[in-house]
């Protein structure tokens, strides 16, 4: 299918004035016509370089901060993973054939400013300088961005997706100088794209950016859960230090990108994407913090403001009643939330926040042009499971890791709750910016010989897609400020030390060449389902827009979309394929 080049969406909700947030009740946010016309709504997929490209951490290959773990046998080597570096053209064609118009990809710092020999895990020594930039890698990324556009796909560029060059050391984000190194990388890379893409490839430079992928999860996975490799012992102090440095890197990168694009004729759209969580201090607090100057919160009362907002968030979440508010799982979740509140308040008292807050208050405007977020299973009540050994990973582990390995929910344990997506969309709409679902997906489990391991809920990816896309369609129809949905991911890939979790619309048998298979070993064809659901959504939204336009031009009262009975009516109802029950309230 041939599709016009998407131009992106620039609409904003009314600006926040006098420190007050806009009214986001269903009546106030419902609009006469669609918030986003169907031809500029992003339907796409999300990928990351280290997980998909292949060619990292082997002999003569670029090395990143996972190189030590791979070489020591702590994790499964990433190898060629999905071989996206060599198969990008075919993958863009698959996306075009599905009718997609957006593709999220990362430009890997480790490939652009590489080292190929492993140095000290402490990073650069006194007097040592970073390695030079690889212009060939930059040209190759420019080629892929141009090819992405040639297939009618808007490139959404991630500058940092969890990994960084090995020359920075294993604990890079505990050092403030890493922020400067990151900004140098971003500046060199974007200047190259601004020059090369128009002149060498005849296409505009990328407009949509995610500076850092899931900074909340990166800090927690390195220094709280130790899912990611780290040198420092786990604890609150390194977790907070890492998070503060990541957020500062975003703020400064946001301002840098806008400065670089001045006079280019392209207005950049810049954000970061958090992993959505019902733990306020693990997710929403970061947004409230970066919006504090714009909301005219006095600098000296930022901490008190966040404490008040934490209480308000919990009240809204409990009122949504997204799952039964009884039983051991619910009460365990409530206890974990109270514990989390106490620990987080202690963490926010650390002096390392002062530098970030000073940076934020240099400008009144929040350093975000849109809000990107990842929605999987964000509920703390689902974080633990009864001890299970059938999927135990036998890598080298401490006793603490062994306990977490058996009791913490795995990717394939995550629950499907599309009503929760509706909650987070309405919650994030309070900030008055467009919203992008930067990741959403579900995992199946595959054994090393590619045999499937059935999920406990018997959920198929096609079913998951239907449920979530229909919720997205209803939200857009009812005036919520959604501008796009990106599914994680186009194909199976390397999932942080393992190939067992499978998220792909196209499955891969890693026992042979990484060929993409539309039909997986269970007989499901999720790529065809996604394509069909997108076609149905576009037709539905176009018809809704046409009806709304007719009512507007006829001079009648705007009621293109009638409200459901009752303020708490659900935006989503289960389809006949669903294995969920309809919530009383979203």
Element (H, E) at 72: none
**Interatomic CA distance for residues 284 and 311, integer angstroms:** 12
Residue 456 φ/ψ, nearest 5 degrees:
-65, -30
Cα gap 112→56, rounded to integer Å: 12
What is the overall mean pLDDT for the chain? 85
Check if the beta carbon of residue 40 is closer than 8 Å to that of residue 542.
no
- DSSP per residue over 493-543, as a string? ---SS-S-EE--SBEE-TTS---EESS-TTS--HHHHHHHHHHHHHHHHHH
CA distances from 263 to 18, 267, 268, 581 (A): 31, 9, 11, 52
- Residue-level pLDDT at 384: 57
Task: Provide CB contacts within 8 A for 475, sequence distance 6+.
Answer: 422, 425, 482, 571
pLDDT per position as a tens digit, 331-374: 877 888 899 899 999 999 999 999 999 999 999 999 999 999 99
Full-model pTM: 0.87
41 CB-side CA count, 13 A: 26
How confident is the model over 16-57, as pLDDT tens digits?
Answer: 233 333 333 333 333 333 333 345 899 999 999 999 999 999
pLDDT over 70 (residue 406) = no
The per-residue pLDDT for range 257-301, each reduced to its tens digit, is 999 999 999 999 999 999 999 999 999 999 999 999 999 999 999
The full set of domains in the chain, from first to last, is 26-553 (3.20.20.80)
């Amino acid at each position: 299918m041939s599709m016009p080049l998407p131009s992106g969406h620039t609409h904003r909700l009314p600006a926040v004035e006098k420190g007050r947030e806009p009214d986001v009740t269903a009546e106030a946010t419902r609009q006469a016509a669609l918030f986003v016309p169907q031809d500029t709504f992003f339907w796409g997929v999300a990928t990351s370089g280290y997980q998909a490209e292949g060619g990292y951490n082997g002999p003569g290959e670029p090395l990143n901060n996972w190189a030590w773990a791979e070489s020591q046998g702590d994790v499964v080597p990433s190898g060629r993973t999905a071989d996206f570096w060599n198969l990008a053209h075919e993958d863009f064609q698959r996306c075009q054939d599905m009718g997609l118009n957006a593709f999220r990809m990362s430009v890997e710092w480790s490939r652009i400013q590489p080292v190929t020999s492993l140095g000290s895990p402490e990073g650069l020594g006194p007097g040592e300088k970073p390695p030079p930039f690889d212009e060939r890698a930059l040209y190759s990324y420019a080629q892929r961005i141009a090819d992405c556009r040639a297939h009618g796909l808007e490139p959404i560029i991630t500058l940092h997706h969890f990994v960084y060059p090995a020359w920075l050391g294993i604990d890079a984000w505990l050092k403030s100088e890493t922020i400067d190194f990151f900004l140098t990388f971003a500046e060199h890379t974007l200047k190259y794209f601004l020059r090369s893409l128009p002149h060498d490839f005849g296409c505009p430079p990328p407009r949509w950016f995610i500076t850092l992928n899931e900074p909340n999860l990166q800090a927690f996975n390195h220094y709280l859960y130790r899912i990611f490799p780290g040198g420092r012992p786990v604890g609150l102090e390194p977790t907070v230090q890492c998070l503060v440095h990541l957020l500062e890197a975003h703020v400064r990168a946001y301002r840098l990108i806008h400065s670089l694009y001045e006079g280019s004729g392209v207005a950049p759209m810049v954000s970061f994407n958090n992993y959505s969580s019902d733990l306020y201090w693990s997710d929403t607090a970061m947004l409230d913090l970066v919006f504090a100057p714009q909301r005219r919160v006095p600098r000296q009362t930022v901490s008190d403001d966040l404490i008040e907002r934490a209480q308000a968030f919990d009240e809204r979440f409990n009122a949504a009643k997204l799952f039964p508010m009884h039983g051991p799982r619910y009460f365990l979740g409530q206890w974990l939330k109270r514990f989390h509140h106490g620990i987080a308040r202690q963490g926010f008292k650390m002096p390392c926040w002062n530098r970030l807050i000073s940076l934020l208050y240099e400008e009144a405007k929040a350093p975000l042009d849109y809000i990107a977020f990842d929605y999987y299973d964000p509920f703390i009540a689902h974080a633990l499971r009864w001890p299970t050994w059938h999927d135990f990973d036998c890598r080298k582990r401490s006793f603490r890791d062994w306990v977490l390995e058996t009791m913490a929910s795995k990717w394939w344990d995550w629950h499907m709750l599309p009503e929760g997506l509706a909650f987070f969309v309405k919650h994030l709409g309070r900030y008055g910016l467009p919203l992008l679902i930067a990741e959403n997906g579900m995992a199946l489990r595959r054994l090393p010989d590619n045999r499937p391991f059935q999920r406990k809920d018997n959920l198929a990816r096609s079913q998951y897609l239907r449920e979530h896309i229909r919720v997205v369609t209803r939200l857009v129809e009812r005036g919520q400020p959604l501008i796009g949905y990106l599914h994680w991911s186009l194909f199976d890939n390397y999932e942080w030390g393992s190939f067992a979790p499978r998220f792909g619309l196209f499955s891969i048998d890693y026992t042979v060449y990484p060929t993409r298979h539309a039909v997986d070993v269970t007989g499901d064809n999720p790529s065809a389902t996604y394509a069909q659901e997108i076609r149905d959504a576009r037709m539905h939204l176009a018809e809704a827009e046409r009806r709304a336009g007719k009512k507007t031009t006829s001079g009648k009262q705007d009621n293109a979309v009638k409200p459901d009975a009752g303020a708490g009516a659900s935006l989503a109802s289960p389809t006949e394929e669903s294995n969920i029950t309809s919530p009383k309230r979203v």
